[in-house]
Amino acid sequence: MIGRIMRSRGMKKFTRNRLAVVASFVIGIYMLIALAVAFGAISLEECRERVLPGRAYGFLQEPNQEERFNELNWYISQHLESTLGSPSGFASDPDSASRRERAALAERGIPEDLSDSQVQEIWAALSASFAELDDAWLDREDLRYEIADINLMISESEDADEQADLADELEDLAAEGETYDREVNALVEQVEAGLLELMPIPTGFAGLKYGFRTFLGSDESGRSVAMRAFYSIKIAFQVGLVAALMSVSIGTILGGLAGFFGSWVDHAVMWLVSVLSSVPYLVLLAVLVYVVRGNALFSEWFDNPQERPGLALVPVYAAFGLTFWIGTCRVVRGEVMKIKELEYVQAATAIGFGRIRILLKHVIPNTTHIMFINFSLIFIGAIKSEVILSFLGLGVQGQPSWGVMISLGREDVQNFFFWTVLSATALMFGLVLAFNIVSDALQDAFDPKHV
Amino acid sequence: MWAFIVRRILYNIPVYLSIILLLMAGLRYARDPVRSQLSKNPTQAERDAVKQKMGLDQPFVVQYVKFLGKTLTLDFSEESWSQKGRSVGDVIKKAIPPSLSITVPTLMASASISIVIALISAYFRGRTVDRTLVVLAVLGMSISFLVYIIFGQFFGAFWPNQVTQTTPFAITGYEPWMPLLTEGASLRNWVEFCMLPVIIGVVVAIGYDTRFYRAVMVEETTKDYIVTAMAKGASKPKIIFVHMLKNAMIPIITRIMATLPFLITGSILLEMYFKIPGMGFELITAINADDFPVIQAFVAVFAGLFILSIILTDVLYALVDPRVRLS
Amino acid sequence: MHARTWKRSLPAIMGLLVALIAAPAAMGQEKILRIPMTTNGPGTMDPIAGSTTYENRACSAVYETLLQYKYLKRPLELEPCLVTQMPEVLDGGRVWKFELQPGILFHDDACFPGGKGREMKASDVEYSWKRLADPEYSYKSWWLVDGLIKGFDEYKETQKARVDSGESFDYDAPVEGFRVTGDYTFEIELNEANQQFVWRLAMFQFSIVPREAVETYGTKFNAHPVGSGPFILKNESDWARNSSILFHKNPNYREVYFPTEMMPEDEEAGFGEAAGKRVPFIDKLEFTFYVESQPSWLEFKSGREDFTTVPQAGFEEAFSRRTKELRRSWSAKGIESVKVPLLDFIFSSFNMDDELLGGYTPERKALRQAFNLARDWDENNETFYFGMALPYDGPIPPGLDGHPNNEDHRAPYSTRGPDYERARQKLKEAGYTVVNGKVTDLPVIEFYTSAGAESQRITELYMRNLSEVGIRINPRYVNFTDLMNKVDLRQAPMFSFAWGSDYPDGENNLALFYGPNESPGSNHSNYKNPEYDRLYEKIRTMPPGPERTKIYETMRDMVIEDAPFTGSLARTRVYLIQPWCKYFKPTEDFYTYIKYIDIDMNHEDREN
């Protein structure tokens, strides 16, 4: 079947479409990534790991002074203090090895060639300089308060002399503020340097991996946005493939039977099609997932992303499988009705071949191109619907997916923190675009009249 | 003709009956419908009492017939579970105008814009303009609806709000806008609350619609009358924009007909995101609140309208193309 | 337009005309208080059908209860509201005697003869309470009086039987423990002495409603409230579902005055100038509902809301992460921030009947304690609550007797994490193998938690914490209904939960572990400890005092050690108040405060 389509005229036409070939390559790359993820290149665990402070920027966005300070504050007074403990007793701590291990963030850890006492020394210096920075920062905050107060006084005061005095004072304070700023900046840099000494950014292969994990920044609990976006490729393929395989096979079988046998079979199938297509598709999806998820019997079995991550998506699959086959079924039925009247089929009937055999051997294979086209259309539909279902809170749960990222990240957009939404969108865009181009080309090549 | 119409209607009656059957069975047996109505720590007796009050203790057949009867007579007097003191019918009635104020303009704008684009595309068929438009349409289709909404809201409403402190468009919400119907309503409300969702809806729809209409137009260009007109030396713009458009009206109208039910269901996503209390919003809210009567009635109404519009489309087709009646 | 519609809208049109004529006179003096809420709005305004805080807020504007909380007093204390004085307590808390204030009028409403609100009588209280037993209302609030009042349970059963046999519910049948002794006096007899009974009298579900309104409006009563409170809902259309409610001042509201008893900080804030003045100050009250916090946040910033709570996304903008103080650029505008600690108990619970996690042997205790030790409550706080929530030990929230009142809110025996080393130790004690710091032979635990973005994020963080010691959980995100079903059927081995105290007494939280309350009761963990139960029965009859606090502490330490739950956390709500919004002392323990708030309509920053 596949071989036949590969040798067909349509396929030649398809391969002549250069854009479509490029798009096929792109899909291939995505598929390789999905396979790599499926074989453990990115584990669910790694998607949950902390790699950075919460809401760290990705590339193209530079933190300002306060954000840098907040970041350092997190590193020193929350992360290192809770993992390394107080600087004074570190070297004598019997637990020091495991403490060092816990201080590591992804690939970025305390170098092994530093002895415990060296670590203690650096850690002590670091925490001392951070204490200094902290003081400077608080002073700077106080100064801001003072300036705001004076501004308020100026606006409330009606006496020109007093206003002038206050303006003078304001000028002094502003100058003082600049000195403070310089001091804070210097200290920020000093602490950042100290932090780098204690926890250098890794180099080599580990550095590459660390770079990958951090280049898109982190979400609010410090998880790597990049890891989650790439892990989602696997989920997208899972959802797309299962939905497309299920729908295409159900659609072809039912459509084939209906078109070929006609009479009551046709009526029964078309009745089912009518029933399902009489409910708006998004409404059908929402109600299906609602019913399936709330069902104790079903959920016992599938809802276990830890041990059976694939099965956790069953409600989503079920909803897609039940809705998407309709289109395929209609087209296949029409095509089969046409093929049935062709001479070679009539001839096969005349020879006395079994009806089932004719259907399977002579009719269905001639609808392969429809199956291909529908496969890629449903694939796109499934990926896009997953996003919508996840937004409605009915989609993927317990693991990252583009839909989950987009719907969780939308609040971050309002805080000018774009990467969660953008990375998911960009990756999804690439895949969907490639599939769109391929299905267009397939349609052009095999079914030029189809609109 | 009448025989055909009657046949279509008769065919769709069992379809509708089965939808209601599946819906009711699913809502009753696939999950526990009454828990949300109970107190913090209910006893079995309380549970039974609630079931009894809601009529859920009756045999399924009885419930089925009752609900069917009520639906067909449009009697939605049952009380909503999550919005006490309101009947389901009231919820539906109040939800229709907001949905329509989004969907009608969206449909009209997107259809007319994309028909124009499709005509332009057909005019320049195979040339750069055509190809660019096709590529743009595919690009547009490859971005998730949700992303359009997120960034549309951000750059259309949130950003201007934060930066200029003016509110051209509301970030979310809805106020009645049809003058005369409600006190204090004005067209400004429409601009403030509905315009942005409509723009986003149109941008999203244009990609899909343009492709469809372009295909229609391209098919039309191969027809004999166009070839003849060309041969006779009629001007190309005139052929494309007058003759072709006229002849392409049939598929255009049927497509618009096919989207009519969406006028009522509204765009669930737009309504959810912009908090427009239309039909889609009410349905999802009801699902999240386990509002059993509302879910049941909404799906029944949606399905009914859908079937009606399918029948209407079929009939329209049959009017245009008598061959359909035979099949 | 139908003739009927015309008729119905006639009063509205008349009202509009009157308003138009009166407008010039009232211009600039109509004080309107605008309060945003992050919700779809209340589902009902019938007190006994309500349960959420939003229903509480709406009902508190329209209805009144026998007692209310003193507005400015902290810790919380009750005072008479509809009654003349605090109830007389006889027999150690078994019999309670009340006397209603004479002359309290219900709102003017068409359900009364002549449309004039009549006077409230003791029989109205009886009627309002009996509604709790009416199957018509699904017993939604029955749990408040279950087994409490003498003869009430029997009354409920008898009436249920009557209704089942097709007769109507008989509100005139007597209840043994409820005795109306005069127009204004009545007494209540409980099955046994109960000190906490008094708190319920201030809960909004016990609001007093007039029988005429309930009977006239039927299910519409949910949307057509008629009470005796400071505000009225003039037209049903003033409640635009999912969007807003507009209340008007009740013109017949009795004489009520701003409290003179206040805390020093209130004195400092200038509340003294209002003391003794007649309330309410405002003419209109508008609740606006936002499902998403962000638009409401913008409205507040542009001066179109009078106060707000800070949404999660707003903290970075308004507060310094380091100091947790309001940024100066904000406070310079006169905006005031108030942190309100909630009576909040956020925890996750184990099913004590579970084969793997349940049981009372030292091994099982150690296993459950390990879960608590391996949870980083501080990281949780920092990530999701901007570091403003409060992790603590035990079930009793801060501010109440029995709460560990030290700097770190730790009980003497504490198993609150993060302490991964001790968690591993506990896992070993429980008989599991720990290799490289991770337990290897503990099966995956099913963890039930509510669906929703927030809950998913919190659970994912919890999973990360637990994986430090190798514990694996499998989160099941289910909606609240399904969660409750699972828990009621004891099928959830572990689940997350939050409990907001119904009244400010630790007893309310300690009841969550009282044996006889086991599922489907409020003791969802099915914790059974005879000693604990005995103590609980004892404290119910004890008046507050150091002796009772001592027992609270003993009970708290018992559950911490037996660990039927892990926790805890109390959220802090941060209120921002505009400079023109006066005499507002935020709280989330009661919502009768609205009548005390005043608005300076002429403030320059206020936008209309």
Asked if the C-beta of C468 comes within 8 angstroms of chain A's C-beta atoms, the answer is yes
Predicted confidence (pLDDT) per residue in C35-60, tens digit: 999 888 898 999 998 888 999 999 99
Give C490's contacts in chain B (Cβ within 8 Å): none
Asked if the C-beta of A299 comes within 8 angstroms of chain C's C-beta atoms, the answer is yes
Residue A207 has pLDDT above 60, yes or no: yes
Distance between CA atoms of residues C451 and C445, nearest Å: 18
Q: Which domains does chain C have, with CATH numbers?
A: 64-215 (3.90.76.10), 344-570 (3.10.105.10)
Of B39, B158, B290, the CB nearest to C140: B39
Number of separate domains in chain B: 1
Sign of the torsion angle spanned by Cα atoms B216, B221, B223, B225: positive
* % chain A with pLDDT above 70: 93
Give C472's contacts in chain A (Cβ within 8 Å): 306
Model pLDDT, residue A87:
85
Domain membership of residue B253 as a residue range: 97-278
Which residue, C537, C559, C509, is CA-closest to C360? C559
Using left for φ > 0, alpha for ψ between -120 and 50, and beta otherwise, residue B49 falls in alpha
Q: Which chains touch A (3 or more CB pairs under 8 A)?
A: B, C
Question: Among C294, C310, C322, C603, which would you mutate to test the A interface (most chain A Cβ atoms within 10 Å of its Cβ)?
Answer: C322
Q: Which structure tokens are listed for A416?
A: 């000018």
Predicted confidence (pLDDT) per residue in A324-346, tens digit: 898 899 889 988 888 888 888 88
Residue of A nearest to C447 (CA): A304
pLDDT (tens, 9 = 90+) of chain B, 327 residues, equals 788 888 888 888 888 998 899 888 888 877 777 766 776 667 777 778 778 877 888 888 999 999 999 988 888 988 888 888 888 999 998 888 888 889 889 988 988 998 899 888 888 887 888 888 988 988 988 888 888 988 888 888 888 877 776 667 887 778 877 766 666 667 788 888 889 999 999 998 888 888 888 888 887 877 788 788 878 877 878 887 777 777 777 778 777 877 776 666 668 888 888 888 888 888 888 887 888 899 999 889 888 888 888 888 778 777 776 665 554
Asked if the C-beta of C378 comes within 8 angstroms of chain A's C-beta atoms, the answer is yes
CB-CB under 8 Å, B303 with A278? yes
Asked if the C-beta of A35 comes within 8 angstroms of chain C's C-beta atoms, the answer is no
* Nearest-CA distance A92 → chain C (Å): 17
Asked if the C-beta of A393 comes within 8 angstroms of chain C's C-beta atoms, the answer is yes
Asked if the C-beta of B151 comes within 8 angstroms of chain A's C-beta atoms, the answer is yes
The average confidence (pLDDT) of chain C is 89
Q: How many beta-carbon pairs below 8 A join chains A and B?
A: 114
* Nearest-CA distance B269 → chain A (Å): 8
CB-CB under 8 Å, B15 with A278? yes
Asked if the C-beta of A281 comes within 8 angstroms of chain B's C-beta atoms, the answer is no
Extended strands (E) in C81-184: 88-90, 95-99, 178-180
Model pLDDT, residue A19:
87
**B234 is a domain residue:** yes
> Which B residues, 234 through 293, put their C-beta within 8 Å of a C-beta on chain A?
261-262, 265, 268-269, 272, 280, 283-284, 287-288
Q: What is the largest CA-CA distance in chain B?
A: 85
Residue C525 has pLDDT above 80, yes or no: yes
Give C481's contacts in chain B (Cβ within 8 Å): 32, 35-36, 290
CB-CB under 8 Å, B154 with A414? yes
pLDDT-based confidence at C548, cuts 50/70/90? very high
Asked if the C-beta of A397 comes within 8 angstroms of chain C's C-beta atoms, the answer is yes
Q: What is the 3-state secondary structure (H, E, C) of C578-601?
A: CCCEECCCCCCCCCHHHHHCEECC
What are the Cα distances from residue C137, in Å, to C49, C125, C167?
A: 7, 17, 16
Model pLDDT, residue A357:
85
Model pLDDT, residue C19:
47
**Residue with more model confidence, A304 or C554:** C554
CB-CB under 8 Å, B150 with A413? yes
Residue C2 has pLDDT above 50, yes or no: no
**The CATH number of domain A2-41+224-450, selected from 3.30.360.10, 1.10.3720.10, 3.40.50.1370, 3.30.413.10:** 1.10.3720.10
Question: Among B35, B41, B180, B292, which would you mutate to test the C interface (most chain C Cβ atoms within 10 Å of its Cβ)?
Answer: B41
Distance between CA atoms of residues C153 and C146, nearest Å: 7
Give B174's contacts in chain C (Cβ within 8 Å): 243
pLDDT-based confidence at A441, cuts 50/70/90? confident
Alpha helix stretches (DSSP H) within C165-277: 197-200, 211-217, 264-268
Residue of A nearest to C297 (CA): A414
- The SS3 of residue C135 is helix
- Where in chain A is CATH 1.10.3720.10? 2-41+224-450
Which residue, B190, B179, B207, B200, is CA-closest to B100? B190
Give A330's contacts in chain B (Cβ within 8 Å): none
Using left for φ > 0, alpha for ψ between -120 and 50, and beta otherwise, residue A16 falls in alpha
Predicted confidence (pLDDT) per residue in C466-513, tens digit: 988 999 888 888 777 778 878 888 888 999 988 989 899 999 999 999
Asked if the C-beta of B139 comes within 8 angstroms of chain A's C-beta atoms, the answer is yes
Residue A448 has pLDDT above 70, yes or no: no
Alpha helix stretches (DSSP H) within C269-305: 293-301
CB-CB under 8 Å, A304 with C322? no
Task: Note whether A274 and B15 are within 8 A (CB).
Answer: yes
> Which B residues, 84 through 123, put their C-beta within 8 Å of a C-beta on chain A?
none
Model pLDDT, residue C132:
93
CB-CB under 8 Å, A432 with B15? no
Q: Which chains touch B (3 or more CB pairs under 8 A)?
A: A, C
> Which C residues, 422 through 441, put their C-beta within 8 Å of a C-beta on chain A?
437
CB-CB under 8 Å, B43 with C143? no
**B127 is a domain residue:** yes
> Which C residues, 305 through 324, put their C-beta within 8 Å of a C-beta on chain A?
312-313, 316-317, 320-323
pTM of the predicted structure, to 2 decimals: 0.85
pLDDT-based confidence at C18, cuts 50/70/90? very low
Q: Which structure tokens are listed for A33?
A: 């990534």
Distance between CA atoms of residues C500 and C397, nearest Å: 9
Asked if the C-beta of C456 comes within 8 angstroms of chain A's C-beta atoms, the answer is yes
Residue of B nearest to C156 (CA): B46
Distance between CA atoms of residues A18 and A7, nearest Å: 18
Dihedral of CA atoms A243, A245, A248, A254 in degrees, nearest 10, equals -100
Task: Note whether A41 and A156 are within 8 A (CB).
Answer: no
Model pLDDT, residue C20:
46
Segment A216-241 mean pLDDT: 92
**Residue with more model confidence, A145 or C260:** C260
Q: What is the 3-state secondary structure (H, E, C) of chain A?
A: CHHHHHHCHHHHHHHHCHHHHHHHHHHHHHHHHHHHHHCCCCCHHHHHCECCCCCCCCCCCCCCHHHHHHHHHHHHHHHHHHHHCCCCCCCCCCCHHHHHHHHCECCECCCCCCCHHHHHHHHHHHHHHHHHHHHHHHHHHHHHHHHHHHHHHHHHCCCHHHHHHHHHHHHHHHHHHHHHHHHHHHHHHHHHHHHHHHCCCCCHHHHHHHHHHHCCCECCCCEEHHHHHHHHHHHHHHHHHHHHHHHHHHHHHHHHHHHHHCHHHHHHHHHHHHHHHCCCHHHHHHHHHHHHHHCHHHHHHHCCCCCCHHHHHHHHHHHHHHHHHHHHHHHHHHHHHHHHCCHHHHHHHHHCCCHHHHHHHHHHHHHHHHHHHHHHHHHHHHHHHHHHHHHCCCCCCCCCCHHHHHHHHHHHHHCCCCHHHHHHHHHHHHHHHHHHHHHHHHHHHHCCCCC
What are the Cα distances from residue A31, in Å, to A26, A124, A236, A247, C15?
A: 9, 49, 10, 20, 68
Is residue C265 packed enough to be buried (19+ CB in 10 Å), middle (13-18) or exposed (0-12)? exposed
What are the Cα distances from residue B18, in Å, to A271, A288, B13, B299, C148?
A: 10, 16, 9, 13, 49
Q: Write the DSSP symbol of residue B192.
A: I
Distance between CA atoms of residues C102 and B243, nearest Å: 85
Question: Among A391, A440, A442, which would you mutate to test the B interface (most chain B Cβ atoms within 10 Å of its Cβ)?
Answer: A391
pLDDT-based confidence at C343, cuts 50/70/90? very high
Q: Which H helix or E strand runs over C137?
A: none
Of B190-194, C27-31, C267-271, highest mean pLDDT: C267-271
Distance between CA atoms of residues B256 and B266, nearest Å: 15
Cα B233 vs. chain centroid, distance in angstroms? 44
Residue C309 has pLDDT above 80, yes or no: yes
Predicted confidence (pLDDT) per residue in A370-393, tens digit: 888 889 989 999 998 888 888 777
CB-CB under 8 Å, B36 with C481? yes
What are the Cα distances from residue B318, in Å, to A378, C117, C491, C502, C577?
A: 30, 65, 57, 66, 66
Beta bridge partners of C495: C349, C448
Segment A279-288 mean pLDDT: 77
Is residue B109 packed enough to be buried (19+ CB in 10 Å), middle (13-18) or exposed (0-12)? middle
Distance between CA atoms of residues A303 and A293, nearest Å: 9
CB-CB under 8 Å, B144 with A388? yes
Segment A301-306 mean pLDDT: 52
Asked if the C-beta of A279 comes within 8 angstroms of chain B's C-beta atoms, the answer is yes
CB-CB under 8 Å, C482 with B288? no
- The SS3 of residue C558 is helix
Give A275's contacts in chain B (Cβ within 8 Å): 15, 18-19, 22
Asked if the C-beta of B31 comes within 8 angstroms of chain A's C-beta atoms, the answer is yes
Residue of C nearest to B157 (CA): C295
* % chain A with pLDDT above 90: 31
Where is average pLDDT lowest: A60-64, A331-335, A414-418, C143-147? A414-418
* Nearest-CA distance C520 → chain A (Å): 17
Asked if the C-beta of A306 comes within 8 angstroms of chain C's C-beta atoms, the answer is yes
* CATH number of the domain to which B147 belongs: 1.10.3720.10
